[in-house]
Amino acid sequence: MMKDKAITCSGQLVARLRIFVYRGLLEFWQTALPIDAAAFQLLEMAVRDSTGSQDQPDWKQCRQRMEETLDNCKQSLPLLQLWRDYELTLAQLFCVGLVGEVEASHVVNLAVSELQKPEQNARPSMHLLSAMLEVLFDDCRNTVFDIAEHDLIQHRLLRLQGDCPLPLQHLTIEPALWSVLCDRNRHWPGCTALPDAPSQDLPQQAREELLRLSALLDGNASDAALSGVVLRGNPNSGRRGFASLLARAMAMQAVLIPFELWQQQPALAAACRYGKWLPVIETQVAPGEAVYFPEQAQRHPVLVLTGVDGAIVARECIELTMPLPTRPERLQLWRSHIHNDALSETLADSALLSASSIKVIACSAMRYAQQSGEDLQLSHVAEARGKLGVEKLRLLAQPVPARVTADALVMPPSVAEGLEAVVMRARKREALWSGLGATLKATPNPGVRVLFVGESGTGKTLAASFVATDLSAPLFRVDLSAVMNKYIGESEKNLAQLLDHAAANDVVLLFDEADALFGSRSEGKETGERFANMLTNFLLTRIESHPGIVILTTNSRERIDNAFSRRIDAVVEFPLPGYEQRLQLWRSHLGDRGPGEQVYRNLASFCDLSGGQVRNVVLGAAVHARQDRISEENLWMGLRAEYNKLGRDMPCKLNFLAAPLSAA
């Protein structure tokens, strides 16, 4: 009932203002032009239609009714709020109404155009406004300078248009702003109203923060109230849902506004104030950059959504970071979406994801399971995770789709133990700090940073795929050619973007040949060296705060900057395979197509190739195999090709063993 009453009062106020403007135009027309003009007749008809009576009120009655409406309407309506905010006189309100009705009424267009002939412009000039105010309001002596200096123009709710002397300039208002002031269509071109979000999707910590902020952002509170909040977080972390719920708590509508639009259209801030919108402004700030938000003419809360880098400079704002759901909250989310307790327990441990990401992944995984005709498995979830956010990550990294299980790894016990420790650390990375001392609790970080060291072909990339497979997480290899940029600062931007999206989807990042990025810093005597050092400094800091799993590989540990050693959680050394590992490698690669155990033993005894090189030999032999089975002769052909590629001679013993086959 109260809402209906407010709508009625708003409609009455707008209708009275429209009649006020029409009747003022008629009154002025009678002093300036013949009353038999067609536009004059249309104005008279418009007044009769608006009043619903043949008896038209005269100008004095219209003024009196307008004053009574303003005094008696106590609702918080957009036009009334504007009138009170700027302490408008009746003459100034007439100017606002005339400028607004030009954007809404064809009849007013015709009348203003006729009054300004021979100039062809439907918007009122400053000279026309000044003349109208002088005729219509006896106590008003507003010159064009008085009008131009009014706060409505200074605050850019109204705009002066035209590169000409001030009397010839025209006064305008954004049509969308006038629509908001008249309580009609609540929409601004280029902006999007955020849909309501379920409160259960927000972590408990975020819900508690939301209640506190809704009180601090109250525009009617004391002068100490906040004017805005900067909410940081990774993509898909639930920031828009937070904005929607915050607006609901403040009895507002959350409206998503591009930062460029907020900068270019100052009247948009006024529309937010009078339309009871909570402006939600998204902007991405690069490392080392700052975005400045000008102070508003009228206090109104603003919510800025941004990433973890850069600076947002705004007066009376606080910064918050969007938290991820805790482990119990993630467990509840997985259970509610996939209805599988055992699988939910596993996923709650291994994947640090937001509520929205969990929902998307769960729906996709269920669909994959239905398509395959199977019950939901971990592999379906892994497939769904591998396709979440791929379009963003692919700009700077390449997915590694291989799913590597333990039986595909041929590693010495020390490497196997190291990989097991890495997986255990990754699974416990969130709860690892629980119950520890105050010093450790002061610096919690769920990120895991691992360095794989070994010669090429020793299985470092394969081991990275194993870690990702065991965690049911996607693996992305960083594309250094896409990340590195010759322009100063661009490489940092690329890396920041990569790490943000990796954190949002909780993927495993693989920096292959990491010494290209994390190499030892030089003394920095040359300009290029100084910028390379700056990039390394940024990487060291950013990787340390990254909440995800990062695997770096290098052929030599000495090539990695010493400062990174402290930031590494685990180092796994990949030695060249010994006899037992080589024997197992030949068995594993050849499978059921191999020539037999004795050949494998000979190869393991006299062939000192790494796992990657064994792979090349077997593939080369398979090319020459005429049947399904790979013969011993095929293997010698593959071996010769691999040794030639390495620029080395085959060991004498292997040549001796191959001689009878060559003779045959």
Q: What is the CATH number of the domain that holds 342?
A: 1.10.8
* Sign, CA torsion 262/175/64/116: positive
Look at residue 395 and tell me if it is in a domain: no
Q: Does residue 487 sit in the same domain as residue 629? A: no
Question: What is the dihedral angle through the alpha carbons of 654, 657, 662, 664, rounded to the nearest 10 degrees?
Answer: -170
Confirm whether 458 is domain-assigned.
yes
Say if 269 falls within a structural domain: yes
pLDDT at 42: 74
Among residues 321, 338, 367, which one ends one of the domains?
321
Q: Which domain holds residue 619?
A: 579-663
Q: Which of 539, 574, 609 is the last residue of a domain?
A: 574
β-strands 253-258, 192-193 pairing: antiparallel
Judging by beta carbons within 10 Å of its beta carbon (0-12, 13-18, 19+), is residue 33 exposed, middle or buried?
A: middle
| Bridge partner list, 449 | 550
- Give the list of residues 6+ apart from residue 366 with CB closer than 8 angstroms, or none: 337, 338, 376, 380
CA distance 576 to 185: 72
Say how many C-beta atoms besides its own lie within 10 A of residue 419's C-beta.
Answer: 22
Are 18 and 79 found together in one domain? Answer: yes
Q: 321, 343, 358: which is the final residue of a domain? A: 321
Nearest to 182 by CA among 1, 17, 2: 17
Q: Is residue 493 a part of any domain in this protein? A: yes
Same domain, 589 and 484: no
What local confidence, expressed as pLDDT, does residue 533 receive?
Answer: 63
Q: What is the pLDDT of residue 335?
A: 94
Give the separation between CA 82 and CA 183, rounded to whole angstroms: 12
Q: Indicate if 589 and 453 belong to the same structural domain.
A: no
Other beta carbons within 10 Å of 152: 22
What pLDDT score was predicted for residue 444?
78
Q: Domain check: are 13 and 159 in the same one?
A: yes
532 and 411 in a common domain:
yes
Residue 530 resides in a domain: yes
Same domain for 171 and 288? Answer: no
Q: Quick one: 117 and 229 in the same domain?
A: no
Q: Pairing between strand 311-313 and 290-292?
A: parallel
What CATH number did the domain enclosing 448 receive?
3.40.50.300
Q: What is the pLDDT of residue 660?
A: 58
Which residues, 6 or more positions from 108, have their beta carbon under 8 angstroms from its beta carbon? 21, 22, 25, 98, 101, 102
For residue 400, being part of any structural domain is answered with no
Q: For residues 479 and 540, state if they share a domain.
A: yes
Co-location of 309 and 342 in the same domain: no
Quick one: pLDDT at residue 563?
A: 67
- In-domain check, residue 100: yes
The number of folded domains in the chain is 5
Q: Are residues 198 and 215 in the same domain?
A: yes
285-322 in b/e burial notation, b at 16+ Cβ within 10 A?
A: bbbeeebebeebbbbbbbbbbbbbbbebebeebeebeb
What angle, 0 to 180 degrees and rounded to 10, lies between the N-to-C axes of helices 106-115 and 38-51? 140
User: Cβ-count burial of 109 within 10 angstroms (0-12 exposed, 13-18 middle, 19+ buried)?
Assistant: middle
Residues in the chain where the model's pLDDT stays below 70: 1-10, 34-40, 49-56, 139-142, 185, 219-226, 297, 485-489, 516-536, 561, 563, 656-664
Same structural domain for residues 426 and 515?
Answer: yes
Looking up residue 650, the CATH number of its domain turns out to be: 1.10.8.60
In a domain, 393, yes or no: no
